[in-house]
Amino acid sequence: MTTSPAPARPTPGETSSGGDGRSRPAGANSPAAARAQQRTEELCAAALRALSGQRDLHYRGRRLHRGRRLLPLFAPHLHPRIEDDDFASFRGAADGVALRLTRSDAGLHGQLRPTAPVARLVFEMLEQFRVESLADEAMPGLARNLRHRFAQWSLAFHRSGLTGTDRGLLLYTVAQIARSRVTGEPVLEETEDLMETPRGALAAVLGTALAGLRRERDDQASYAVHARAIADRIGEMIAATKVTEAVSSVDGDADDESAAFRLVMEFDASGADGVTAVESGRSRVFDEATDGYRVFTRAYDRELQPAQMARPEQLRELRSTLDARIAAEGIHLARLARELKALLAEPQRERWVDAQEEGLIDGRRLAQLVAAPTERRLFRREQREWQADCVLAFLLDCSGSMREHASALAVLVDVMARALELAGVASEILGFSTGAWHGGRAQRDWVRAGRPAHPGRLNEVNHLVFKDAATPWRHARSGVAAMLRPELFREGVDGEAVDWACARLLAREEARKTLVVVSDGCPMDGATNLANDAHYLDAHLREVVARREQQARVRILGLGVGLDLSPFYSRSQAVNLDAMGGPALLRDVLRLLASRQGR
Q: Shortest CA distance to 126 belongs to which of 144, 140, 112?
A: 112
Q: How confident is the model at residue 276 (pLDDT cuts 50, 70, 90)?
A: low
The C-alpha atoms of residue 240 and residue 249 are separated, in whole angstroms, by 17
Strand pairing category for 302-304 and 346-356: unpaired
Mean pLDDT of 199-221: 88
Give the pLDDT mean for 21-42.
59
Q: 46 by DSSP, 3-state: which? A: helix
Cβ neighbours of 463 (radius 10 Å) = 19
First to last CA, the chain: 16
Q: What are phi and psi of 383, to 5 degrees?
A: -100, 125
Residue 253: inside a domain: yes
Helix (H) and strand (E) counts in the chain: 20, 15
Angle at 381 between CA 380 and CA 382, to 5 degrees: 130
Alpha carbon of 467 to those of 260, 377, 424, 460: distances in Å?
A: 50, 51, 16, 22
32 with 148, same domain: the answer is yes
- Please calculate the CA angle 452-526-276 and round it to the nearest 5 degrees: 135
The percentage of residues in the chain with a pLDDT greater than 90, rounded to a whole number, is 35
Query: Under a CB-based contact definition with an 8 Å cutoff, are residues 438 and 444 in contact?
Result: no
Do 358 and 259 fall into the same domain?
no
What does DSSP assign to residue 70?
E
User: What's the pLDDT at 398?
Assistant: 92
Q: Decide if 280 is inside a domain.
A: no
In tens, the pLDDT along 578-595 reads 666 678 888 888 888 887
Q: Of 330, 362, 382, which residue is a domain's last?
A: 382
In a domain, 181, yes or no: yes
What is the overall mean pLDDT for the chain? 81
Asked if residue 293 belongs to a domain, the reply is no
Please identify, among 329, 361, 382, the residue that sits at the C-terminal boundary of a domain. 382
Q: Are residues 552 and 439 in the same domain?
A: yes
> Residue 24 pLDDT more than 90?
no
> Is 174 found in the same domain as 129?
yes
Give the residue among 132, 130, 53 at the shortest CA–CA distance from 92.
132
- State the amino acid at position 321 in one-letter form: T
> Considering the domain boundaries, does residue 225 fall inside one?
yes
Q: Over range 273-301, report the average pLDDT.
A: 79
The more confident residue out of 28 and 346 is: 346
DSSP state of 187: P
Contact 403, 490 (CB under 8 A): no
User: What is the C-alpha separation between 73 and 254, in angstroms, rounded?
Assistant: 8
Looking at residue 272, its pLDDT comes to 32
Identity at 27, one-letter amino acid code: G
Same domain, 377 and 394: no
Dump pLDDT digits (tens) for 442-452. 999 999 999 99
Q: How far apart are CA 280 and CA 256, in angstroms?
A: 14
Of 278-282, 417-421, 505-509, the poorest mean pLDDT is in: 278-282
Separation between Cα atoms, residue 541 and residue 291, nearest integer Å: 16
Question: 270, 285, 311 — which closes off a domain?
Answer: 270
Sequence-distant (≥ 6) Cβ neighbours of residue 418 within 8 angstroms: 333, 473
The larger pLDDT score, comparing residue 369 to residue 273, is at 369
Q: In percent, how much of the chain has pLDDT > 70?
A: 83
Q: Do both 402 and 364 map to the same domain?
A: no
- DSSP class of residue 266 equals G
* Whole-number Cα distances in Å, 268 to 9, 79, 124, 446, 567: 9, 10, 19, 45, 21
Residue at 519 is within a domain:
yes
Quote the pLDDT of residue 202. Answer: 86
Q: To the nearest 10°, report the CA torsion of 550, 551, 553, 558.
A: -30
Consecutive H or E run containing 303: strand 302-304
Residue 292 has pLDDT above 60, yes or no: yes
User: Is there a single domain that holds both residue 321 and residue 355?
Assistant: no
Q: Give tens-digit pLDDT for 138-168.
A: 888 888 989 999 999 999 888 888 888 888 8
In terms of Cβ atoms closer than 10 Å to its own Cβ (0-12, 13-18, 19+), residue 449 is: exposed
pLDDT band at 46 (very low <50, low <70, confident <90, very high): confident
Angle, CA 545 vertex, CA 540 and CA 550 arms, to 5°: 125
Binned at pLDDT 50, 70 and 90, residue 189 comes out as: confident
Cβ–Cβ < 8 Å for 401, 19: yes
Average pLDDT score over residue span 202-223: 89
Q: What is the 3-state secondary structure (H, E, C) of 105-170?
A: CHHHHHHHCCCCHHHHHHHHHHHHHHHHHCCCCCCHHHHHHHHHHHHHHHHHHHHCCHHHCHHHHH
Q: What is the mean pLDDT of residues 482-491?
A: 92
Rounded CA gap, 86 and 94, in Å?
Answer: 13
Inform me whether the pLDDT recorded for 526 exceeds 70: yes
Q: What is the secondary structure of 377-432 as a DSSP string?
A: --EEEEEEEEE--EEEEEEEE-BGGGGGGHHHHHHHHHHHHHHHHHTT-EEEEEEE
Contact 318, 307 (CB under 8 A): no
Residues 469 and 528 in one domain: yes
Task: Please give the average per-residue pLDDT across 399-421, as a whole number.
Answer: 91
Residue 64's identity, in one-letter code, is L
b/e map 197-234, b = 16+ CB within 10 Å:
ebeeebeeebeebbebbbebbeebeebbebbbbbbbbb
Identify whether residues 322 and 455 lie together within a single domain.
Answer: yes
CA dist., res. 56 & res. 45, Å (int): 9
Amino acid at 276: T
Task: For residue 461, list its beta bridge partners.
Answer: 434
Which pLDDT band holds residue 45 (cuts at 50, 70, 90)?
A: confident
Cα-Cα-Cα-Cα torsion 156, 567, 71, 261, nearest 10 degrees, comes to 30
Its domain, for residue 361, covers 351-382
Residues 106 and 254 in one domain: yes
Report how many domains make up the chain. Answer: 3
Phi, psi of 22 (to 5 degrees): -70, 135
| Whether the Cβ atoms of residue 232 and residue 114 lie closer than 8 Å to each other | yes
Helix (H) / strand (E) element for 43: namely helix 31-52
> What CATH number did the domain enclosing 427 receive?
3.40.50.410
Looking from the CA of 405 toward its CB, the CA atoms found within 13 Å total 25
CA 141, chain centre distance (Å): 30
CA 409 to chain centre: 21
Residue 10 falls inside a structural domain: no
Q: Where are the beta strands (DSSP E) in 468-511?
A: none
Q: What is the DSSP letter of 437?
A: S
Residue 22 near residue 522 (C-beta atoms within 8 A): yes
Q: CA 320 from chain center: how many Å?
A: 37
Q: Verify that 498 and 467 share a domain, yes or no.
A: yes
Taking alpha carbons only, the member of 13, 21, 9, 1 closest to residue 521 is 21
Query: Tens digits of per-residue pLDDT, 316-331?
Result: 999 999 999 999 888 8
Per mean pLDDT, which of 42-56, 343-357, 452-466 is the most reliable? Answer: 452-466
Cα–Cα distance, 58 to 70 (Å, whole number): 10
Q: Is residue 282 part of a domain?
A: no
My answer on whether 215 and 166 are in the same domain is yes
Structure confidence at residue 199 (pLDDT): 85
Residues 6+ apart with CB under 8 A from 133: 182, 183, 184, 217
